[in-house]
Amino acid sequence: MATKILIIGACGQIGTELTMRLREIYGNDNVVAGDIREGGKELMESGPFEIVDAMNRTSIEDICLHYEINEVYLMAAMLSATAEKYPKKAWNLNMDSLFHILNIAKEGKIDKIFWPSSIAVFGPTTPKENTPQQTIMEPSTVYGISKQTGERWCEYYHNKYGVDVRSIRYPGLISWKTLPGGGTTDYAVEIFHDALKNNHYDCFLKKDTSLPMMFMEDAIKATVSIMQTKSENIKQRSSYNLAGMSFTPAEIAAEITMHIPEFTITYQPDFRQAIADSWPGSIDDSVAREDWSWSHDYDLEKMVEEMLDNLK
């Protein structure tokens, strides 16, 4: 049976690039992009698009039925910085949308789900360096609380109802193709835009704040890979740790000055500093590497080069 995919939140930072990659793999007509608003030209013109509200179960079911969808990627979410401003709205969006998809799968209407988690599931009491797959998880942000809860529900639906749901704890994601959407690690994208425009960046985190990051190419590779892996190899049904690189604002700035010598950076930490301080500095993803042969391709040096070359 042909793989027929619906991506909810297809116009977001990850969704845009994921949609294009999945269309390359499975064919344009077999990958339906869905979002509450229209996306960029390439996404809109390369395959089917439907306006879909992640909170509206009926409309999701209708689209699944119409296109004979068997896999859903639920990429719609309110991210960490925005969620702190609208806690209830973030909780409702992040939780209700997941329940809709889990229940549609439970009823046998779709076969497989991808749902992204995040390093935000960890909190101030989590071991900071090489955070293991199984560890203390006491998130202190609205976004983290919703993702931690989502992980528990994914595992529950798998154990109780046999739902084939797969998940990755994304670190901060860096891309030149789309702008970030209200996260705490957004500085690592903004810095490139400002470096090229103004030779200067005013950073909202302290210079020594180390966070786990990943180039978008690697994140897309991981997402495709976990979904293509045989079900029996997916042993973690909550979510998998995933790592690429870890760096501080000072380190990424130093790497940028190798290409733009006149670049300068200043630091004015805001409310996002407290969010960053509650997260790990580096992640141990050995379980993902063992279970489904995950490996990353990009380090800081390669990523900075790629970002500057493409944004120029």
Catalytic residue IDs: 143
Compute the distance between CA of residue 42 and CA of residue 12 in angstroms, rounded to an integer. Answer: 14
Q: Which residues contact 139 (CB under 8 A, 6 or more apart)?
A: 120, 121, 122, 123, 145, 147, 148, 278
Query: Amino acid identity, residue 62?
Result: D
